[in-house]
Structure 1
Amino acid sequence: MVKHVSITHYNAPTCERIFMKKLAILSILFSVFVASGAAFSADRPNIVFIFTDDHCIQALSAYDDSRISTPNMDRIAKEGMRFNRCYVTNGICGPSRAVIQTGKYSHANGFIRNGNVFNGDQQTFPKLLQKVGYQTAVIGKWHLGSTPQGYNYYDVLKGQGPYYNPPMITSDENGQPVTKPHTGYTTEIIGNKALAWLEQGRDKDKPFMLMFQHKAPHRNWMPAPKYLNWLDDVEIAEPETLWDDYTGRETPAANQAMTIATHMNDNDLKLTQPRGLTPEQLKTWNAAYTDKNQAYLAKRESMTEKEIIKWKYQRYAKDYLRCVKSVDDEIGRVLDYLDANNLTENTVVMYSSDQGWYLGEHGWFDKRWMYEESLVTPLLARWPGVIEPGSVNENDITSNLDFAETFLELAGADVPSDMQGASLVPLFKGKTPKDWRTSFYYHYYEFPGAHSVNRHFGVTNGEQKLIHYYGPNHDGGEIDTWELFDLNKDPNELKSEANNPEYAVIRKKLESELERLRVLYDVPEDTQPVRKPRVPTKKGKDAKTKTKAK
């Protein structure tokens, strides 16, 4: 038996309505397809995150033009936004990087001090970006002890990495990590690799996120050949706290091991011949330093202690600034590439560092403290058509804790509820959310350790700061003491008001806020084992003072 199938005939207007309805359905499905990351969309920008090691705002002319000109970093600020209160959660290299990967404080991501190994199996923002269709790459310094996960491509320095001829780790054809030697200046090599990936390594039909990360200007500040003599005829301005005697604060400030006067060694000061250079590199190096060193050594015995410290400061500051100059050059090359390849308009560029740094302030080099110079890190962001060019965010408290969440929102990905920061995208648009943080929690764990900075945690609201030092002390006992600074009256943090009755109300409020933040972030008690303190960095042969660290 044959079944008769009835066929409905539609007139033209009805057919058009059906067609439009189906088209609308397809449009919705396509939108879902795009949002899931399966296709590229112009409203999901590329991301270039430029990151350096130990770069302070005192050496970035968009913040302070008294020591150096950084035109390419400044370009990001002029074409975008400068943030004046970007605070780090834990002012040291590896922990800062782990915070950025996870959007979580050190105690939550498990990487609290250098020497830990980052657990790459945990949730990280690059993995989440991959899920929504982004290509991800990390090139340069990694410093987390484990093989990068969540990246379509990685090519990273082995360990800390040298300034010249670095071994770098990438994956072989089987996806296994392999170490390859390189010849040249590390900052330039990292720049070359970033440009090569942008040009040849990515799928140009997909959005990308590139982490472009430099070793410089980390200790021991070895300049590129082209900059070895740059600044020779310039005297770098000394910070007003170079001669700090650490009175007015508790004992930790005096008992560190990071003074220019005592703890810089001959390798830092380029008074010894560097290792690992090719014969040609060494020839260029010696041509730059030999005569200058001989001139100093010939008169050192007749110099006063103050004259020696002044010489050390000039040598250190110039080498540091020379390293920054090379980074700025490489940033310029990447920005020029974006321009030349029509990528600028749809690429968010962010610049930051793992924390600030002491460029002689308080007589120091290094970082670690909750004092302003190392708590504050540079943050510049450019997003054409969204961020107002030349804008400055003066007062909002931002952090490296916010970077992961920012990248995820830019990519249209969900921000996991267990991340502890907040996306900066509203601030990019000039709109501060009503619930934006008005205080900030900091925690440093690495004692005993390099430079002998006591463990401490604290809270700041940008105007007042409360710091608590705790745990093992330099004398083998325990420390339990507080500092409070009024940043409006005492921006250099030279006098603690913790025991001043006039600040009793402010201290009580800060203590209450500190406890609130510790509960909010579920901060556990510090249960690190008490280890024997490390021997401080060896003193240079020309040191005339003894370290106060015991």
Structure 2
Amino acid sequence: MKPDLKQMLWGLIVICTCQSVKGQSNLSKKQRPNIVYIMSDDHGYQAISAYGYGLNKTPNIDRLAKEGILFTRATVTNSLCAPSRAVLLTGKHSFVNGKVDNEARFNWNQDNFAKQLQQHGYQTALIGKIHMDGLPQGFDHSAVLIDQGEYYNPNFIVDGTKKQLQGYVTDLTTDMAIDWIKNRDKEKPFCLLYHQKAPHREWLPALRHLSAYTSMTVPEPKTLFDNYANRGSAARTAEMNILKHMNWAGDNKIPPALMDELGIKEYLNWDKAAFNNNLGRMTPAERATWDSVYNPIMAAFKKKYPSMNDQELTRWRYQRYMQDYLGTVAAVDDGVGRMLDFLKENGLDENTIIVYTSDQGFYLGEHGWFDKRFMYEESLRTPLLVRYPAEIPAGTRSDALVQNLDFAPTLLDYAGITVPKDMQGASFRKLAGGKEKKWRDVIYYTYYEYPSIHMVKRHYGIRTDRYKLIHFYYDVDEWELYDLEKDPEELNNVYNDPTYTDVKKTMHKKLTATRRHYKDSEENDQRFMPKARRK
């Protein structure tokens, strides 16, 4: 064999071997996009001005809608913080990845999309909240909050080492996210999971936002005084009512001493402790600023409280809740603006996919509630905005039934990596780019954390373009069916309405087929029950 031919063959062997080691990436290094995945915690889509609800203004998050795509009906598979994050990472339903509730441990040894990106040459980082035990796997760098984290002067676990940082958590998370991009290996594409704690309970705004947001009046939802008629026991027995179940000190910021003076009892035994612990993290100067804003509010409440009826108290508590909630959102929006500006100033905005979403939806007073968990719309739906100018037309809107189950496959698809066959989601890359219109016609949902805080009963169900079928089980056996076209606020369960007989039959067939498709079953329902309740 001639030497030059032998060299050519060896060269081909080396190239093929390298490609085999690198994996199934279909894109060159220069073509592969960077990824900045921004996830907030409990950020209801109603509190993003691009969605049109008029509660607040989020000009920076809105930029993603103007320059990319806004999904109007993005949903989650399990409306709870840690399970949602597990679904994001694995592309698998909770009953497959094992993280069914906030108490179950997450197995970091299982595959996740960040590990796949690492294996295919990406540099990866996770900064902010993950709310799962164990050192995150799949990341070259991690700086994560402990459990729920703190708003003021928080503790982080930075690559396995605990550190307390001085400042406001939302700003610190943004600082670290930008610094990591600045100091990354510039020879590699990168994926950054940039996760904010806000606007999670107990809703403590940045000091710079206190005055503006505590003085605003927020529009009340039409269902603030919902009486849960025409629905099953689950809605009536849930413990997330703003008047009855919200904490007075931790949530509404009434000092424990004032609670004692007015004879207000704790609903949860950690209410006063939450207030003291949260504000106890402040420096004297920070606390002085806080007191200058909240002390007059509490002085006015002290005068009014003795004569307030339940309706007046509900309205007062709703305003206090929403003022602080929207105040925390303001800092999240600030951070998004800083990130977008940084990417643009450094020439990274054109080849970077930017995702903004939340780990689930949230009740902002609808049905008189706060929190999430239910399969009803405000909890099920989550904000989702994606910017990638190379493929996504600016100003696009989509009502497709995408889910957080789809994030892992979609991001791998953009990176040119073959999606593992055991991932249950689907890539919405072509959908977002306007190259595909056909999409799934049904989504599947499960919820397991009962009995527990908020007492939302266990349930599973499906949602189509128009209808929703829910089965509540464990200590009840109740079915609910909603016509979302005629009843978007889900006030009337039509499961036993004879005019919906055919719809009910069709939805039951779809539910059976969907459960089979995702490999869920009654055996799984039993497997994740407390031992005493298993058959």
TM value normalised by structure 1: 0.88
- CA distance in 1: counterparts of 2:337 and 2:157, whole angstroms: 25
Q: Closer, same or farther in 2 for the Cα pair 1:25/1:460, shift >3 Å? A: same
CA contact under 8 A between 1:42 and 1:346: conserved in structure 2? no
Match of 2:308 in 1: 303
2:176 matches 1:193: yes
List alignment gaps of at least 5 residues for structure 1.
1-5, 9-14, 172-176, 473-478, 534-550
| Cross-structure match for 2:370 | 365
Of residues 508, 516, 521, the one that matches 1:519 is: 516
Shift of 1:146: 1.8
Query: Could you tell me which residue of structure 2 aligns to residue 349 of structure 1?
Result: 354
Report what 1:445 is aligned to: 448
Q: Secondary structure at the match of 1:86?
A: coil
Q: Select the residue among 117, 121, 141 that pairs with 2:109.
A: 121
| Residue 298 of structure 2: aligned partner | 293
Per the alignment, residue 97 of structure 2 pairs with 109
Cα drift, residue 182 of structure 1: 1.2
Match of 2:389 in 1: 384
Q: Is contact 1:448-1:531 (8 Å) kept?
A: no
Q: Does the 8 A contact of 1:116 with 1:145 survive in 2? A: no
| Matched residue, 2:63 | 75
3-state DSSP class of the match of 1:427?
A: helix
Equivalent in the alignment of 1:138: 126
Give runs of aligned pairs for residues 422-437 of structure 1, distance below 5 A: 422-432=426-436, 434=438, 436-437=439-440
Cα distance in structure 1, aligned partners of 2:109 and 2:195: 22
CA distance in 2, matches of 1:178, 1:420: 34
Cα distance 1:483–1:343, how it changes in 2: closer, same or farther (>3 A)?
A: same
Partner residue of 1:458? 461
Spell out, residue by residue over 1:467-518, the C-alpha distance to the aligned partner (whole angstroms, 9 max, x if none): 000002xxxxxx0010000000000000000000100100111011001111
Measured in 2, the distance between the counterparts of 1:141 and 1:289 equals 28
* Greater C-alpha radius of gyration: 1
> Deviation at 1:183?
1.5
Over the matched positions of the two proteins, sequence identity in percent amounts to 45
User: Which among 230, 236, 244 is matched to residue 262 of structure 1?
Assistant: 244
Deviation at 1:385, TM superposition (A): 2.4
- Whether the 8 Å CA contact 1:448–1:530 is kept in 2: the answer is no
Q: 2:166 aligns with which of 155, 178, 183?
A: 183
CA distance in 2, matches of 1:459, 1:507: 12
Relative to structure 1, is the Cα distance of residues 90 and 298 closer, same or farther in structure 2, using a 3 angstrom cutoff? Answer: same
Contact 2:23 2:119 in 1 (8 A): no
Separation of aligned partners in 1, 2:13 and 2:82: 47
Question: Which amino acid in structure 2 is aligned with residue 333 of structure 1?
Answer: R
Q: CA deviation at 1:162?
A: 1.0
Report deviation, 1:223: 0.5
Deviation at 1:73, TM superposition (A): 0.4
- Whole-angstrom distance in 1 between the partners of 2:25 and 2:90: 20
Q: Does structure 2 conserve the Cα–Cα contact (< 8 Å) formed by 1:188 and 1:326?
A: yes
- Distance, in Å, in 2 between the alignment partners of 1:530 and 1:62 is 42
Is the 1:39–1:133 contact (alpha carbons within 8 Å) kept by the matching residues of 2? no
Matched position secondary structure for 2:478 = strand
> What is aligned with 1:405?
409
What's the counterpart of residue 158 of structure 1? Answer: 146
> Matches of 1:279 and 1:187 in 2, distance apart?
20
Alignment of 1:8-23 (within 5 A): none
Report if aligned partners of 1:258, 1:366 keep a CA contact under 8 Å in 2.
yes
| Cα-to-partner distance string for 1:18-40 (whole Å, 9 max, x where unaligned) | 9xx99x96998699488766996
Query: Normalization by structure 2: what TM-score?
Result: 0.90
Cross-structure match for 1:227: 209
For residues 40-79 of structure 1, the aligned pairs below 5 Å read 41-79=29-67
Q: Distance in 2 between matches of 1:186 and 1:203?
A: 26
> Within 5 Å, which residues of 2 pair with 1:306-325?
306-325=311-330
Report the CA distance between 1:328 and its aligned residue. 0.4
1:31–1:73 CA distance, 2 compared to 1 (3 A)? farther
- C-alpha separation in 2, matches of 1:84 and 1:433: 15
Deviations 1:1-53 (A, max 9, x none): xxxxx999xxxxxx9xx9xx99x969986994887669962321000000010
**1:413 is matched by which residue type in structure 2?**
I
Q: Secondary structure at the match of 2:124?
A: strand
Q: For residue 178 of structure 1, report the CA deviation from its aligned partner.
A: 1.4
Tell me how far apart the structure 2 counterparts of residues 340 and 214 of structure 1 sit (CA, whole Å): 23
User: 8 Å contact 1:88–1:400 — kept in the other structure?
Assistant: yes
Conserved in 2, the CA contact under 8 Å of 1:463 and 1:486? Answer: yes
Q: Alpha-carbon deviation of 1:170?
A: 1.6
- Which of the residues 251, 256, 275 maps onto 2:280? 275
Q: Tell me which residue corresponds to 1:508.
A: 505
Q: Which amino acid in 2 is paired with 1:509? A: T
Q: In structure 1, what residue type is equivalent to 2:284?
A: P
Bigger helix fraction: 2
> What stretches of structure 1 move > 4 A for 4+ residues in a row?
24-40
Inter-partner Cα distance in structure 2 for 1:316 and 1:162: 18
